[in-house]
A and B are shown apart, each in its own frame.
Chain A
Amino acid sequence: EVQLVETGGGLIQPGGSLRLSCVVSGFTVSINYMSWVRQAPGKGLEWVSVIYSGGTTYYADSVKGRFTISRDNSKNTLYLQMNSLRAEDTAVYYCARVSGEDYYFDLWGRGTLVTVSS
């Protein structure tokens, strides 16, 4: 069965750091393009980052220089390291599989909530 399970969310103070994990079963992370997409409370969806099968990474301007996407092939797990967190980073963070070289998202996890507040 295909599953994407995100963990690592929680309440964090502004300026703090958090690492999200997405454990995948049913397909291999390393041979797929994988992304993080977030959704602020009551708002729409925002693409955050992608890692290609070859390891190249890209980021939305809103998180560039603060967030880092990575993966552990041995654990079939995707990560998002979030530093210098701001209140506007508060959102549910979803990991999602990108469908090949077309940037739509065909599989999604259930998400993990990150709240940045003092």
Chain B
Amino acid sequence: EIVMTQSPATLSVSPGDRATLSCRASQSVSSNLAWYQQKPGQAPRLLIYGASTRATGIPARFSGSGSGTEFTLTISSLQSEDFAVYYCQQYNNWPLFGGGTKVEIK
């Protein structure tokens, strides 16, 4: 059974700084990985699929990388609207989400 682990659990970042979020799979998921953003009281929003392809309408400051078991979501210059919880999800098998990383204002 695959386990998806996100780190850190909480990331404190100043507006304008870069944020780097990690997602690790316990076995290879190839490039079958998506990232979502969720703000309080809202549904998740798809950011990245195929490990590195931005979804429609997602700003270029969001980028994804990695394959196999190690993945990274980078937000190049944090804007106020980017403070949220981020989830990774593998879809190499039945969908499975990581535990999330909360990006908070430093």
Question: Which A residues have a C-beta under 8 Å from some C-beta of B?
Answer: 35, 37, 44-47, 58, 60, 94, 99, 102-106, 108-111
Contacts and interface: CB of A to CB of B under 8 A. Distances in A.
B99 A109 contact: no
Nearest to A95: B43
A102 B43 contact: no
B94 A105 contact: no
Nearest to A99: B49
Interface residues of B, number: 21
A103 B94 contact: yes
A110 B97 contact: no
Contacts of B50: 102
Contacts, number: 52
Contact of B43 (A60, A99, A111): A111
B89 interface: yes
B73 interface: no
User: 8 nearest interchain CB pairs?
Assistant: A103-B91, A104-B34, A108-B43, A47-B95, A45-B97, A103-B95, A104-B49, A44-B99
A1 B45 CA distance: 16
Contacts of B96: 47
Interface string B36-65: 100000111110011000010000000000
B7 to A, nearest CB: 14
A44 B55 CA distance: 21
A44 B98 CA distance: 7
